[in-house]
Amino acid sequence: MIPAKCKDLISALTDGGWSFVVNHGTDTGDSPFISIEARRGKVHIMITWHTRATGTYRLFSCMVNRRDVSLTKAMEAVHSPEDAA
Q: What gap in Å lies between CA 35 and CA 21, rounded to an integer?
A: 8
pLDDT at 83: 63
Range of the domain at 44: 4-79
pLDDT at 81: 85
How many domains, the chain?
A: 1
Consecutive 10-residue averages of pLDDT for the chain (85 residues): 94 97 95 97 97 94 97 96 66
Q: With 0.75 as the threshold, say if the pTM is over it.
A: yes
pLDDT at 84: 57
Indicate whether 84 belongs to any domain: no
Task: Count Cβ atoms below 10 Å from residue 84 Cβ, excluding itself.
Answer: 8
Q: What is the pLDDT of residues 4-28, one digit of tens each?
A: 999 999 999 999 999 999 999 999 9
Indicate whether 85 belongs to any domain: no
Q: What gap in Å lies between CA 85 and CA 72, rounded to an integer?
A: 14
Q: What gap in Å lies between CA 40 and CA 82, rounded to an integer?
A: 7
Indicate whether 71 belongs to any domain: yes
Indicate whether 60 belongs to any domain: yes
